[in-house]
Amino acid sequence: MALAQKKLMDVKLGQLPSWLGTRDFTPNGLLGSVRGGYERYYNKYINVKKGGIGGVAMFLAGYIALSYLWEYDHIKHDRWRKYH
């Protein structure tokens, strides 16, 4: 199978730079990959006959993790200030 069509998990470590070279990093390409990711998540967890709280809960947990990552700098400085 050609390198470009392989998914990330099937690419061997040594082939990673060349695989990255085949990916589309233009703005349109990035948008396409975000949309593709959204559709994969949506069709797997939300758009199912008996969807439950799991799909939404995973997404919100990811959002909390992302928010923590973004605020970490501020939290670190708060902690340092509190303990001098």
Please identify, among the stretches 9-17, 23-31, 49-57, the one whose residues bind another protein according to the rule CB under 8 A: 49-57
Binding footprint of another protein, residue count (CB under 8 A) = 27
First to last CA, the chain: 58
**Tokens coding 16:** 């990673």
At residue 84, the 3 state secondary structure works out as coil
Please identify, among the stretches 4-12, 13-21, 22-30, 45-53, the one whose residues bind another protein according to the rule CB under 8 A: 45-53
**Rounded (10°) CA dihedral 38, 40, 43, 45:** -80
Interface residue list for another protein (CB under 8 A): 38, 42, 46-52, 55-56, 59-60, 63-64, 66-71, 73-74, 78, 81-82, 84
